[in-house]
Protein backbone atom coordinates (compact mmCIF):
# COMPACT_ATOMS: atom_id res chain seq x y z
CA UNK A 1 0.00 0.00 0.00
CA UNK A 2 1.19 3.52 -0.81
CA UNK A 3 0.61 6.16 1.84
CA UNK A 4 0.89 9.90 1.28
CA UNK A 5 3.06 11.70 3.82
CA UNK A 6 4.09 15.32 3.41
CA UNK A 7 4.40 15.54 -0.34
CA UNK A 8 5.31 11.94 -1.21
CA UNK A 9 3.61 8.60 -1.74
CA UNK A 10 5.64 6.07 0.23
CA UNK A 11 5.45 2.33 0.84
CA UNK A 12 3.42 1.63 3.94
CA UNK A 13 6.54 0.57 5.91
CA UNK A 14 8.33 3.82 5.05
CA UNK A 15 5.37 6.09 5.83
CA UNK A 16 6.52 7.64 9.10
CA UNK A 17 6.25 10.85 11.04
CA UNK A 18 8.45 12.37 13.74
CA UNK A 19 8.08 11.34 17.39
CA UNK A 20 8.07 15.11 18.05
CA UNK A 21 4.90 15.60 16.02
CA UNK A 22 2.31 17.29 18.22
CA UNK A 23 -0.36 15.10 16.66
CA UNK A 24 1.32 12.18 18.43
CA UNK A 25 2.45 13.99 21.57
CA UNK A 26 -0.81 15.85 22.26
CA UNK A 27 -3.47 14.73 19.78
CA UNK A 28 -3.00 18.17 18.25
CA UNK A 29 -4.46 17.69 14.80
CA UNK A 30 -7.59 16.89 12.84
CA UNK A 31 -8.83 14.19 10.51
CA UNK A 32 -11.50 12.99 8.13
CA UNK A 33 -12.82 9.54 7.25
CA UNK A 34 -14.09 9.45 3.67
CA UNK A 35 -15.69 6.71 1.61
CA UNK A 36 -14.93 5.58 -1.93
CA UNK A 37 -17.77 3.83 -3.74
CA UNK A 38 -17.25 2.32 -7.18
CA UNK A 39 -14.49 4.73 -8.15
CA UNK A 40 -16.33 7.77 -6.77
CA UNK A 41 -15.46 9.65 -3.58
CA UNK A 42 -18.66 10.33 -1.67
CA UNK A 43 -19.21 13.90 -0.41
CA UNK A 44 -15.55 14.85 -0.83
CA UNK A 45 -16.30 18.58 -0.81
CA UNK A 46 -18.28 18.24 2.43
CA UNK A 47 -15.46 16.32 4.12
CA UNK A 48 -12.87 18.85 2.98
CA UNK A 49 -15.04 21.70 4.16
CA UNK A 50 -15.41 20.08 7.59
CA UNK A 51 -11.63 19.59 7.67
CA UNK A 52 -11.14 23.27 6.88
CA UNK A 53 -13.56 24.23 9.66
CA UNK A 54 -11.80 21.91 12.11
CA UNK A 55 -8.47 23.52 11.15
CA UNK A 56 -9.91 27.00 11.57
CA UNK A 57 -11.37 26.11 14.96
CA UNK A 58 -8.01 24.94 16.31
CA UNK A 59 -6.09 27.80 14.62
CA UNK A 60 -4.16 25.44 12.38
CA UNK A 61 -3.41 27.11 9.11
CA UNK A 62 -3.39 24.57 6.30
CA UNK A 63 -1.11 25.43 3.38
CA UNK A 64 -3.05 23.19 0.94
CA UNK A 65 -5.93 24.34 -1.22
CA UNK A 66 -9.14 22.34 -1.37
CA UNK A 67 -8.20 21.30 -4.92
CA UNK A 68 -4.77 20.08 -3.81
CA UNK A 69 -6.29 18.02 -1.00
CA UNK A 70 -8.90 16.63 -3.36
CA UNK A 71 -6.20 15.66 -5.90
CA UNK A 72 -4.12 13.90 -3.23
CA UNK A 73 -7.15 11.95 -1.97
CA UNK A 74 -8.02 10.79 -5.50
CA UNK A 75 -4.41 9.96 -6.31
CA UNK A 76 -4.11 7.86 -3.12
CA UNK A 77 -7.11 5.79 -4.25
CA UNK A 78 -5.81 5.41 -7.82
CA UNK A 79 -2.28 4.45 -6.76
CA UNK A 80 -3.64 1.72 -4.50
CA UNK A 81 -5.93 0.39 -7.22
CA UNK A 82 -9.02 0.97 -5.12
CA UNK A 83 -12.54 1.32 -6.44
CA UNK A 84 -14.19 0.87 -3.04
CA UNK A 85 -12.56 1.77 0.23
CA UNK A 86 -11.99 4.15 3.07
CA UNK A 87 -9.75 7.20 3.01
CA UNK A 88 -8.22 8.60 6.17
CA UNK A 89 -6.98 12.15 5.85
CA UNK A 90 -4.94 13.39 8.81
CA UNK A 91 -3.48 16.84 9.41
CA UNK A 92 -1.21 17.23 12.42
CA UNK A 93 0.22 20.39 13.92
CA UNK A 94 3.61 19.03 12.83
CA UNK A 95 6.98 18.62 14.45
CA UNK A 96 7.72 20.79 17.49
CA UNK A 97 9.43 20.80 20.85
CA UNK A 98 8.22 18.83 23.89
CA UNK A 99 6.43 21.91 25.21
CA UNK A 100 2.70 22.30 24.71
CA UNK A 101 2.92 25.47 22.68
CA UNK A 102 2.05 24.95 19.02
CA UNK A 103 4.28 27.93 18.23
CA UNK A 104 7.21 25.52 17.93
CA UNK A 105 5.37 23.60 15.19
CA UNK A 106 5.99 25.54 12.02
CA UNK A 107 4.92 23.08 9.30
CA UNK A 108 1.76 20.97 9.58
CA UNK A 109 1.91 17.38 8.36
CA UNK A 110 -0.51 15.81 5.93
CA UNK A 111 -1.13 12.07 5.79
CA UNK A 112 -3.54 10.33 3.42
CA UNK A 113 -4.21 6.60 3.72
CA UNK A 114 -6.54 4.90 1.24
CA UNK A 115 -7.34 1.38 2.31
CA UNK A 116 -9.91 -1.34 2.17
CA UNK A 117 -12.79 -0.80 4.53
CA UNK A 118 -13.74 -2.48 7.78
CA UNK A 119 -17.49 -2.86 7.79
CA UNK A 120 -20.08 -4.02 10.27
CA UNK A 121 -21.01 -7.60 9.24
CA UNK A 122 -24.23 -7.82 7.16
CA UNK A 123 -26.14 -9.48 10.02
CA UNK A 124 -26.00 -6.21 11.97
CA UNK A 125 -27.90 -4.54 9.14
CA UNK A 126 -30.40 -7.40 9.03
CA UNK A 127 -30.86 -7.82 12.79
CA UNK A 128 -29.83 -4.40 14.12
CA UNK A 129 -27.37 -3.34 16.82
CA UNK A 130 -27.77 -3.63 20.57
CA UNK A 131 -26.17 -0.63 22.25
CA UNK A 132 -25.82 0.71 25.77
CA UNK A 133 -25.61 4.13 27.41
CA UNK A 134 -22.23 4.52 29.11
CA UNK A 135 -21.27 6.68 32.10
CA UNK A 136 -18.54 8.56 30.22
CA UNK A 137 -20.10 11.81 29.02
CA UNK A 138 -19.34 13.44 25.69
CA UNK A 139 -16.75 16.15 26.17
CA UNK A 140 -18.25 19.54 26.96
CA UNK A 141 -18.28 21.87 23.95
CA UNK A 142 -16.78 24.60 26.12
CA UNK A 143 -13.75 22.36 26.72
CA UNK A 144 -13.31 21.08 23.17
CA UNK A 145 -16.05 21.41 20.60
CA UNK A 146 -17.24 17.97 19.46
CA UNK A 147 -17.70 19.72 16.10
CA UNK A 148 -13.93 19.65 15.69
CA UNK A 149 -12.93 16.27 14.30
CA UNK A 150 -9.71 16.30 16.26
CA UNK A 151 -7.08 13.63 16.78
CA UNK A 152 -8.11 13.66 20.42
CA UNK A 153 -10.57 10.74 20.49
CA UNK A 154 -9.78 9.49 23.98
CA UNK A 155 -13.23 10.55 25.19
CA UNK A 156 -14.88 8.35 22.56
CA UNK A 157 -12.39 5.53 23.08
CA UNK A 158 -13.14 5.46 26.83
CA UNK A 159 -16.85 5.19 26.04
CA UNK A 160 -16.24 2.49 23.44
CA UNK A 161 -14.21 0.49 25.96
CA UNK A 162 -16.97 0.78 28.54
CA UNK A 163 -19.49 -0.63 26.09
CA UNK A 164 -17.09 -3.33 24.96
CA UNK A 165 -16.40 -4.48 28.52
CA UNK A 166 -20.13 -4.90 29.03
CA UNK A 167 -20.41 -6.93 25.82
CA UNK A 168 -21.82 -4.21 23.56
CA UNK A 169 -20.49 -3.07 20.22
CA UNK A 170 -21.38 0.60 20.53
CA UNK A 171 -21.95 3.16 23.26
CA UNK A 172 -24.61 5.83 23.45
CA UNK A 173 -23.01 8.98 24.86
CA UNK A 174 -24.87 11.69 26.77
CA UNK A 175 -23.66 15.24 27.21
CA UNK A 176 -23.02 16.81 30.59
CA UNK A 177 -26.69 17.83 30.82
CA UNK A 178 -27.83 14.28 30.27
CA UNK A 179 -29.12 14.77 26.72
CA UNK A 180 -28.15 12.34 23.98
CA UNK A 181 -25.07 13.56 22.10
CA UNK A 182 -24.04 10.77 19.74
CA UNK A 183 -22.37 7.37 19.67
CA UNK A 184 -18.59 7.00 19.76
CA UNK A 185 -18.21 7.24 16.00
CA UNK A 186 -21.73 7.71 14.67
CA UNK A 187 -24.64 10.13 14.90
CA UNK A 188 -27.95 8.99 16.41
CA UNK A 189 -31.47 9.23 15.04
CA UNK A 190 -34.86 8.11 16.29
CA UNK A 191 -38.17 7.82 14.42
CA UNK A 192 -41.51 8.23 16.14
CA UNK A 193 -44.98 8.52 14.65
CA UNK A 194 -43.60 9.37 11.21
CA UNK A 195 -41.15 12.06 12.38
CA UNK A 196 -37.39 11.73 12.54
CA UNK A 197 -35.40 13.24 15.40
CA UNK A 198 -31.69 13.76 15.82
CA UNK A 199 -29.79 15.74 18.48
CA UNK A 200 -28.68 19.25 17.46
CA UNK A 201 -24.95 20.01 17.18
CA UNK A 202 -25.25 22.00 20.39
CA UNK A 203 -25.92 18.71 22.21
CA UNK A 204 -22.39 17.61 21.37
CA UNK A 205 -22.79 15.86 18.04
CA UNK A 206 -20.27 15.95 15.24
CA UNK A 207 -21.59 17.53 12.03
CA UNK A 208 -21.76 14.11 10.42
CA UNK A 209 -21.63 14.04 6.65
CA UNK A 210 -23.85 10.93 6.64
CA UNK A 211 -26.22 12.66 9.08
CA UNK A 212 -26.54 15.51 6.59
CA UNK A 213 -27.10 13.06 3.71
CA UNK A 214 -29.90 11.42 5.72
CA UNK A 215 -31.48 14.83 6.40
CA UNK A 216 -31.41 15.47 2.62
CA UNK A 217 -33.07 12.09 2.02
CA UNK A 218 -35.74 12.86 4.63
CA UNK A 219 -36.39 16.15 2.86
CA UNK A 220 -36.72 14.38 -0.51
CA UNK A 221 -39.10 11.84 1.01
CA UNK A 222 -41.13 14.56 2.72
CA UNK A 223 -40.40 13.05 6.15
CA UNK A 224 -40.49 15.72 8.88
CA UNK A 225 -37.22 16.12 10.81
CA UNK A 226 -36.63 17.72 14.19
CA UNK A 227 -33.18 18.59 15.51
CA UNK A 228 -33.98 18.72 19.21
CA UNK A 229 -32.48 17.66 22.50
CA UNK A 230 -33.31 14.02 23.16
CA UNK A 231 -33.30 12.09 26.39
CA UNK A 232 -32.86 8.37 26.98
CA UNK A 233 -36.63 8.25 27.56
CA UNK A 234 -37.20 9.51 24.00
CA UNK A 235 -35.03 6.67 22.69
CA UNK A 236 -36.67 4.01 24.85
CA UNK A 237 -40.17 4.90 23.64
CA UNK A 238 -39.22 5.57 20.00
CA UNK A 239 -40.58 3.41 17.20
CA UNK A 240 -37.14 3.13 15.63
CA UNK A 241 -33.55 4.09 16.21
CA UNK A 242 -30.58 4.12 13.84
CA UNK A 243 -27.00 5.37 13.62
CA UNK A 244 -25.26 7.12 10.75
CA UNK A 245 -21.59 7.35 9.86
CA UNK A 246 -19.22 7.13 6.93
CA UNK A 247 -18.30 3.53 7.68
CA UNK A 248 -21.64 2.40 9.15
CA UNK A 249 -23.82 4.25 6.57
CA UNK A 250 -27.30 3.82 8.12
CA UNK A 251 -27.48 1.01 10.65
CA UNK A 252 -30.52 -0.04 12.68
CA UNK A 253 -30.48 -0.13 16.49
CA UNK A 254 -32.94 -2.61 17.98
CA UNK A 255 -32.03 -2.49 21.65
CA UNK A 256 -30.81 0.28 23.95
CA UNK A 257 -29.93 -0.39 27.59
CA UNK A 258 -31.49 -3.84 27.43
CA UNK A 259 -34.81 -2.42 26.22
CA UNK A 260 -36.19 -3.32 22.78
CA UNK A 261 -36.77 -0.31 20.52
CA UNK A 262 -40.17 -0.52 18.83
CA UNK A 263 -40.85 -4.19 18.23
CA UNK A 264 -37.16 -5.04 18.63
CA UNK A 265 -36.48 -5.45 14.90
CA UNK A 266 -35.06 -2.97 12.33
CA UNK A 267 -37.74 -0.41 11.52
CA UNK A 268 -39.32 0.31 8.15
CA UNK A 269 -38.18 3.94 8.05
CA UNK A 270 -34.64 2.92 8.92
CA UNK A 271 -34.69 0.40 6.08
CA UNK A 272 -35.99 3.08 3.72
CA UNK A 273 -33.21 5.48 4.75
CA UNK A 274 -30.58 2.77 4.24
CA UNK A 275 -31.95 1.91 0.79
CA UNK A 276 -32.12 5.57 -0.22
CA UNK A 277 -28.65 6.23 1.18
CA UNK A 278 -27.19 3.36 -0.83
CA UNK A 279 -28.85 4.63 -3.97
CA UNK A 280 -27.49 8.12 -3.24
CA UNK A 281 -23.89 6.87 -2.93
CA UNK A 282 -24.29 5.04 -6.24
CA UNK A 283 -25.39 8.29 -7.97
CA UNK A 284 -23.27 11.01 -6.38
CA UNK A 285 -19.57 11.63 -5.86
CA UNK A 286 -16.27 12.85 -7.23
CA UNK A 287 -14.88 10.52 -9.91
CA UNK A 288 -11.26 9.48 -9.44
N1 LIG B 1 -19.65 11.22 15.46
C2 LIG B 1 -18.35 10.94 15.64
C3 LIG B 1 -17.77 11.14 17.00
C4 LIG B 1 -17.56 10.48 14.58
O5 LIG B 1 -16.27 10.20 14.75
C6 LIG B 1 -18.16 10.29 13.31
C7 LIG B 1 -17.33 9.83 12.15
N8 LIG B 1 -16.97 8.48 12.26
C9 LIG B 1 -19.53 10.56 13.18
C10 LIG B 1 -20.23 11.05 14.27
C11 LIG B 1 -20.23 10.39 11.86
O12 LIG B 1 -19.77 11.34 10.94
P13 LIG B 1 -19.69 11.06 9.38
O14 LIG B 1 -21.06 10.72 8.93
O15 LIG B 1 -19.19 12.32 8.80
O16 LIG B 1 -18.75 9.90 9.20
* Helix segments in 224-267, DSSP class H: 232-236
Known active-site residue 280 = no
Instruction: Give the global pTM.
Output: 0.97
Confidence of residue 182 (pLDDT cuts 50, 70, 90): very high
The 10s digit of each residue's pLDDT in 50-103 is 999 999 999 999 999 999 999 999 999 999 999 999 999 999 999 999 999 999
The 10s digit of each residue's pLDDT in 195-231 is 999 999 999 999 999 999 999 999 999 999 999 999 9
Q: Does domain 2-115 fall into CATH 3.30.470.10?
A: yes
By the 10 Å C-beta count (0-12 exposed, 13-18 middle, 19+ buried), 91 is classed as buried
Confidence of residue 178 (pLDDT cuts 50, 70, 90): very high
* Span 247-254, average pLDDT: 97
pLDDT at 243 over 90: yes
* Span 164-184, average pLDDT: 98
- CATH number among 3.20.10.10, 3.40.120.10, 3.30.70.270, 3.90.180.10, domain 122-280: 3.20.10.10
Residue 117 pLDDT: 86
* Helix segments in 146-208, DSSP class H: 154-165
136 CB within 6 A, ligand 1 = no
CA Rg value for the chain = 19
Residue 83 pLDDT: 95
Give the active site residue among 149, 226, 268, 280: 149
Q: Is 4 left (phi over 0), alpha (psi -120 to 50) or beta?
A: beta
Residue 278 pLDDT: 96
Output the average pLDDT for the chain.
97
Range(s) of the chain covered by CATH 3.20.10.10: 122-280
Residue 101 pLDDT: 96
The 10s digit of each residue's pLDDT in 106-139 is 999 999 999 998 788 999 999 999 999 999 999 9
211 CB within 6 A, ligand 1 = yes
Range(s) of the chain covered by CATH 3.30.470.10: 2-115
Residue 120 pLDDT: 86
Q: Relative to the CA of 247, which ligand 1 atom is closest?
A: 16
Q: Relative to the CA of 182, which ligand 1 atom is closest?
A: 1
Q: Determine the distance separating the centroid of ligand 1 and the alpha carbon of 31, expressed in angstroms.
A: 11
72 CB within 6 A, ligand 1 = no
187 CB within 6 A, ligand 1 = yes
How many CB atoms within 10 Å of residue 158? 15
Nearest to 282 by CA among 223, 219, 213: 213
The 10s digit of each residue's pLDDT in 3-43 is 999 999 999 999 999 999 999 999 999 999 999 999 999 99
185 CB within 6 A, ligand 1 = yes
Q: Determine the distance separating the centroid of ligand 1 and the alpha carbon of 262, expressed in angstroms.
A: 25
Q: Relative to the CA of 146, which ligand 1 atom is closest?
A: 3
Residue 119 pLDDT: 82
pLDDT at 162 over 90: yes
Amino acid sequence: MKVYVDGQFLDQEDAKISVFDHGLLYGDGIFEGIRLYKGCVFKLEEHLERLEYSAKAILLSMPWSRQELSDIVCEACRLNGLTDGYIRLVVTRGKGSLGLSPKTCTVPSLIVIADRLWLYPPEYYENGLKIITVPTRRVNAAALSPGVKSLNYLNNIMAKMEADRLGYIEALMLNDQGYIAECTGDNVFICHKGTVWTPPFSAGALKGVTRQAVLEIADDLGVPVKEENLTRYDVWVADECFLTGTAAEVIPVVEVDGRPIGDGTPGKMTEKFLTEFRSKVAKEGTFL
